[in-house]
Structure 1
Amino acid sequence: MSRRENDNLSMQDALSAFIKKNKLQDGIDKVDVRTAWSNLMGNGVQNYTTDVELKNSTLFVSLSSSVLREELSLGKSKIIQMINQELGKDLVKKLVLR
């Protein structure tokens, strides 16, 4: 049986400790980035998005429309800024549209 570290631990602190101990932050970040992409881009872009994947600090987005890919490539820096702002931390450094 595991030992308790502290009797008065808040739920947020307990979850943070669990995430850190089990090294789950990378997976949570990947899910958060997908959610941020769909929230920020809306249904129009989401219909043409086939995959959103975060590797290290690079966000790979697969699109089924070459016209949309060209259009979004003009505003890559703005998209990166919006996603990082939505996440509340500097997680995405580079955006690759494919």
Structure 2
Amino acid sequence: MSKPVLSVRNVTRTYDTASGGLTVLKGVNLDVMPGEVVGLIGPSGSGKSSLLHAAGLLERPTSGEIRIDGADVGGLDERARTHIRLASIGFVYQFH
């Protein structure tokens, strides 16, 4: 069996707000297999963009693990994350 090209494990994302922390992702798990097409749907504010930003290495999750082609990318510096985005990641927003 092939390995996931993207693996998201126990990802949490909390944003700091004036009234305290706002958790939009809590313990999210997702695997995307080679050749698979994935669509995220949900109501406004449900965390779709936050998940895409974390999985696309645009933002760091508050906790959890993201693996691209089996490699843990959590500890990479911004230059290495940019290289992976250029070489391996793509997604399309509904409205650009």
For the aligned pair, the TM-score class normalised by the smaller chain equals 0.3 to 0.5
Which has more strand, going by share of residues?
2
Which of these two proteins has the greater Rg computed from alpha carbons? Answer: 1
> Which structure exhibits the higher relative contact order, with contacts defined as CA atoms closer than 8 Å and separated by 6 or more residues?
2
Which has more helix, going by share of residues?
1
Compute the TM-score of the two structures, normalised by the length of structure 2. 0.32
